[in-house]
Amino acid sequence: MAEEIMVSILSRLPPKSVMRFKCVRKSWCSLIISSSFVEKHLSMCNKHSTSIFCKHFIFRDINTKEKEVVCSLITFSNNDEHDTHSVVEHVPIPLSSDIQTRGNFIDIEALFAASIIGHCNGIFCISFGLASGSIVLWNPAIKDFKILPKQQCLDGAINSMAFGYDPKSKDYKVLDIVDPTGERIGEDRLVFSLPKVEVYTLSTNSWREIESYSLETETTLFLPMFHQMFMNGICYWIGCERQREFMDLYDRNDEEWARQVINTFDMRNEVFDHILLPYSLYDLNARYFHLHIISWKESIALFGMYSFGALFTTDSYGLWVLNNLGDVHEGSWTKLLTLDVLLGMQKELVFWKSDEILMVAKDGRIFTHNIETERFRYVPIDSLFPDNCEAVVCVNSIVPVTPEKQQA
């Protein structure tokens, strides 16, 4: 009984506190690093607060204009129904010769300086820099990180990646999709091949190529482009459907993008699929951008900015919830919200708690906006590059990324 009480208490403590108790005695250390306790702690953690992991940029040296990528953990708590408070903790990025976090970051360098590929169970997958292209699995709560080996397929113009957990094999996976290249046949014919897809598995610390035939139809290819979310064993991208073959090379740029879709990848069977957007967004008089796939009360939802009308004069935010995930091709959407765009807002970062949106202003200030009360509060951090600021809702866990640190 005493041991059950001890396990119950330890499983409710934050990661930093739990890890300190490893030094009490060997039996406690063995318990804390056991897979059963790690799973129990994961199921219990973060019941009463919401944390957001935010990547932003600050001046390292104003005189030289050198900038630095900074990661911050924003923890929100509610004292009452509508009173939200935040605590910001700067999280040191792991030091390694393969990771560059400082520089002048001109143009596209800022976008790829530290790109958040995904988050799952307290582990972040981050890509650092164009030069090194290092991919890191990192649990900042327990200061555990791992630099992944290089992929085999690095010859693509665009790589789209994702990170998640396979509940069937109980393993973490990273997905890398290499944009297909076109092969010219004759004078006026261009045919695109299937994308190359590789999967990294944490337990084996290796990449392997998998079949990508589920990304094709008879006439088109589905291209996952911007990874958005991992939920219940499935990764979600905002992607495009592209024609496989062009009979007129000069007109292909006008014909290439047939329509935008949501691409999915099931980590269990390693098969792709797609979900059509709300039919209203396929209207010729609709223009939409900054679309986000989010979790809305345990359902899949789409949130983003759009314009309707011939002149596209009015921008609004819309929130659509998918009614039936089981039938992804004919799944219907219900529009729940329409919101006005806030003056001075550059872009939305992340939707959380079903009524709060973390946003970044054009001047780089970061704030949270409540769509019910219409109140907003500034968070005590900002970013030099508002467009390249990123954030994800996360949990704090003791899940390791180095399997040798965990016992079965």
pLDDT in tens, 261-275: 999 999 999 999 999
Instruction: Convert the pLDDT of each residue in 141-153 to its tens digit.
Output: 999 999 999 887 7
* pLDDT of amino acid 307: 73
Whole-number Å distance between alpha carbons of 109 and 114: 9
Exposure pattern of 188-219 as b/e (b: 16+ CB <10 Å)? eebebeebbbbbbebeeeebeeeebebbbeee
Residue 242 has pLDDT above 70, yes or no: yes
Which pLDDT value is given to residue 93? Answer: 82
pLDDT in tens, 191-223: 777 888 999 999 999 999 999 889 988 888 888
Which pLDDT band, with edges at 50, 70 and 90, does 249 fall under?
A: very low
Name the more confident of 394 and 86: 394
8 A C-beta contact, residue 172 and residue 217: no
Closest CA to 250 of 190, 181, 191: 190
Residue position matching structure tokens 């406690």: 28
Cα separation, 337 vs 391, in Å, equals: 22
* Rounded alpha-carbon distances, angstroms, from residue 284 to 113, 310, 318: 36, 9, 17
Mean pLDDT for all residues in the chain? 81
| 3-class SS of residue 144 | strand
Q: Which of 23-37, 38-52, 75-89, 178-192 has the lowest mean pLDDT?
A: 178-192
Helices (H) and strands (E) in the chain, counts: 6, 28
**Segment 287-294 mean pLDDT:** 80
- What number is the average pLDDT over the span 371-378? 87
Cβ atoms of 159 and 119 within 8 Å: the answer is no
Q: What pLDDT is attached to residue 3?
A: 74
* Distance (Å, whole) CA 294 – CA 382: 23
Confidence (pLDDT) at 106: 66
End-to-end CA distance of the chain: 23
Region of poorest pLDDT, from 60-64, 157-161, 308-312, 351-355: 308-312
Lookup: tokens for 207? 């990449």
By CB atoms closer than 10 A (0-12, 13-18, 19+), residue 340 is exposed
Is pLDDT above 60 for 82?
no
Residue in the structure block whose two tokens are 């665009």: 158
Of all residues in the chain, the percent with pLDDT exceeding 90 is 27
| pLDDT band, very low/low/confident/very high, at 137 (cuts 50, 70, 90) | very high
Handedness of CA 170, 14, 12, 5 (dihedral sign): positive
- C-beta of residue 69 within 8 angstroms of C-beta of residue 115: no
Report how far residue 342's alpha carbon sits from residue 351's, in angstroms, rounded to the nearest whole number: 15
Q: Kindly state the percentage of the chain with pLDDT values over 70.
A: 78
Query: In terms of Cα–Cα distance, which of 169, 172, 166, 177 is closest to 146?
Result: 172
157 pLDDT more than 60: no
Average pLDDT over residues 278-305: 82
Residue whose entry in the numeric block shows the structure tokens 């959380």: 352
pLDDT class for 75, splitting at 50, 70, 90?
confident
Average pLDDT in the 157-174 region?
A: 88
The pLDDT tens digits for 342-369 are 888 888 899 888 888 899 999 999 999 8
Candidate ranges 60-74, 262-276, 299-313; pick with highest mean pLDDT: 262-276
Q: Which of 63, 89, 59, 61 is closest to 74 using CA atoms?
A: 89
* Token code pair at residue 80: 């009452």
State residue 19 phi and psi, 5-degree precision.
Answer: -65, -30
Q: Is the pLDDT of residue 20 over 90?
A: no
Least trusted range by pLDDT, from 77-86, 267-276, 314-323: 77-86
For residue 284, which phi and psi values (nearest 5 degrees)? -65, -25
140, amino acid identity: P
